[in-house]
Amino acid sequence: MLSPKMVDLLNAQVNLEFFSSNVYLQMGAWADNEGLEGCTSFLTMHADEEMGHMRRIWNYVQEAGEMPKLGTIPEPQNSFKDVREIFEAVYEHEKLVTAKIHEIAHAAFEAKDMATFNFIQWFVAEQHEEETLARNILDKIKIIGLDGKGLYFIDQEVGKFAAAESAGGGDASAT
């Protein structure tokens, strides 16, 4: 059984995951417009994963006998200076999501809601992975740079991350 406070926290997370998906989908559209195939597939795949996260929480709330609720999802940013700005924004966004996930874990632990505490551990691990991935991409941008052929190589590298994630199964079909 979920407390009303926990339902509110989980519903807020449903909305944040939905927003995350829109953020990455929009970034993917920007990348596609710039002819950056690797970045497009990475960001679009990431958008699908976020929808998987949203559904995972949605289903958990439903299974607990409560009704998940959608709120207003803000409009995502649609114009960027360059790929560096995109991945800095990805990293900052993932740090925000991590903070929110940790808030849920903390509240569940404090309330001795061990079912939710156990459920949210998957997200704790996922956030660790996602922050690491965003940081790795930023490191590559720092090393390779975006000048001359740099942008081409960065796009190739980001495309490799997308291929590796896709080989790993992703999370779009989470139940």
Residue bearing tokens 């291929």? 163
DSSP state of 76: P
Cα–Cα distances (Å) from 115 to 13, 18, 38, 69, 105, in that order, read 17, 23, 39, 20, 11
- From the list 25-33, 122-130, 139-147, 162-170, the region that binds ligand OFO by CB under 6 A is 122-130
Q: Which amino acid is at 1?
A: M
> For the chain, how big is the Rg over CA atoms in Å?
17
For the window 2-41, what string marks contact with ligand OFO as x by the rule CB under 6 A?
Answer: ---------------x--x---------------------
Q: What angle do CA 133, 135, 139 make, to 5 degrees?
A: 115
**For residues 44 and 161, is the Cβ–Cβ distance under 8 A?**
no
Which CB, 113 or 126, lies closer to ligand OFO?
126
165 counts as binding ligand OFO under rule CB under 6 A: no
Least distance CB 115 / ligand OFO (angstroms): 19
**Position among 10, 41, 130, 141 found at the interface with ligand OFO (CB under 6 A):** 130
Contact string 62-101 vs ligand OFO (x = CB under 6 A): --------------------------------x--x----
Amino acid at 69: K
* Interaction of residue 157 with ligand OFO, rule CB under 6 A: no
Residues at the contact surface with ligand OFO, assessed by CB under 6 A: 17, 20, 50, 53, 94, 97, 123, 126, 130
